[in-house]
């Protein structure tokens, strides 16, 4: 199972062949709701809002692709991740903590360019 970070979806939308190849091999792709929020924010700020929303909707409708909602379990993992990162002295952006919590809850592999996820124990990241 692959979990998409915002930068991975953006790379996919721009035709990044490495991301396309990785996703073609995945049985299941999860898009955290926090990532959807970041994407929609970018779409509404940008110039191609309707086109970008349409492309996202098409992607989300593909077999094996679904949204990962924030649950009570995700929220608890978020709290644990924040605590661990503070102890380590290695904070990461808040939305990325939510994404890491989703990865820990689902047991998937994160597809992201962000190296700071390496500070989160138990989060396995694939770069592209």
Q: Record the pTM.
A: 0.94
pLDDT at 6: 98
- Confidence at 99, pLDDT banded by 50, 70, 90: very high
Cα separation, 109 vs 124, in Å, equals: 5
Average pLDDT (5-29) is 97
Q: In the chain, what are the domains? A: 2-126 (3.40.50.1010)
As to burial, measured by CB atoms within 10 angstroms (0-12 exposed, 13-18 middle, 19+ buried), residue 119 is middle
Crossing angle for the helix pair 94-106 and 72-88, nearest 10 degrees? 120
**Residue 80: which of 31, 37, 123 has the closest Cα?**
123
């Amino acid at each position: 199972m692959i979990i998409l970070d915002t930068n991975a979806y953006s790379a996919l939308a721009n035709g990044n062949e490495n991301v396309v190849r990785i996703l073609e091999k995945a049985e299941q792709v999860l898009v955290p709701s926090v990532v959807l929020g970041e994407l929609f924010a970018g779409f509404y700020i940008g110039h191609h809002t309707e086109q970008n929303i349409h492309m996202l909707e098409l992607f989300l409708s593909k077999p094996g692709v679904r949204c990962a909602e924030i649950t009570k379990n995700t929220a608890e993992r978020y709290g644990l991740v924040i605590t661990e990162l503070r102890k380590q002295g290695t904070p990461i952006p808040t939305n990325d903590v939510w994404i890491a919590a989703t990865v820990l809850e689902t047991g998937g592999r994160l597809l992201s360019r962000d190296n700071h996820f390496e500070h989160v124990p138990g989060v396995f990241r694939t770069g592209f």
